[in-house]
Amino acid sequence: MRINAPHVVIDQKINARNVDTSIMPPKHLKPCKQPGCPALVTTGYCDHHAPSPEATRERFKALDDRMDPEIKRFYHGARWTAVSLLHRAKEPLCRSCKKEGRIVCGELTHHNPPLEELLREGKDPYADVYLEASCTPCHMRELNKKRYSRIPHSVTDPVRQPAVVPAV
């Protein structure tokens, strides 16, 4: 679109939402999320490392199929979706990354202690004290620790202090 005014000609680039993009600065380029890749991208992975949508769908479907039906129903419910979004609005950064000094956007809401434990003990799984924002790599790391460790996944309740075991 060209706007003509006396002695002034302004070129405007209008996008689909009728927003003038000619005054917006371009996004800063960041390294590809794949460790060691030198490619610069605006978000996520470069074309070479980007996972295909089909592969991502298959991976999540495989995880979904292994999930307990009660847990699956919980995570697919409207209430959990709303609580998760609200929690990430309150805590936008990944808690684990923040502890390590990195600023990473929280993409998921993680239960700490695990949901199964909260349900077994009759605690409210929607309470903010049991939720933390997590980026996908940190969340997968936590799930893998829980899934592949030989010792039981033990997380102290954030509300009460851990019990002190007397030395024998």
Distance, in Å, from the CA atom of 23 to the CA atom of 13, rounded to the nearest integer, reads: 9
In a domain, 10, yes or no: no
Determine contact, residues 75/107, Cβ cutoff 8 Å: no
> pLDDT at position 21, please?
56
pLDDT at 10: 44
- Report the predicted TM-score, pTM, of the whole model to 2 decimal places: 0.53
Any domain includes 85: yes
Number of domains composing the chain: 1
List the one residue out of 77, 89, 161 whose CA is nearest residue 115: 77
Question: Locate tokens 């600065």: which residue?
Answer: 25
Say how far apart CA 1 and CA 89 lie, in whole Å.
37
Q: What is the pLDDT along the chain (168 residues), one digit of tens a residue?
A: 444 444 444 444 444 455 555 666 677 888 998 888 999 998 888 988 888 888 878 877 887 788 788 888 898 899 999 999 999 999 999 999 999 999 999 999 999 888 888 999 999 999 999 999 999 889 888 888 877 764 444 444 444 444 444 555
List the end-to-end C-alpha distance of the chain, in Å, as a whole number. 81
- Percent of the chain as helix, strand, coil, to the nearest 5: 40, 15, 50
**What six digits make up the tokens of 110?**
């993680």
Domain enclosing residue 118, as ranges: 68-156
**139 occurs within a structural domain:** yes
Q: Is residue 136 part of a domain?
A: yes
Residue 1 lies in a domain: no
In 22-94, which residue ranges form alpha helices assigned H by DSSP? 53-66, 69-75, 78-90
User: What does the block give as tokens for 162?
Assistant: 């851990």
Specify if 116 maps to a domain: yes
Q: Is residue 134 part of a domain?
A: yes
Q: pLDDT value at position 27?
A: 78
What local confidence, expressed as pLDDT, does residue 167 receive?
Answer: 58
Residue with tokens 């800063």: 28
**Per the domain annotation, does 48 fall within a domain?**
no
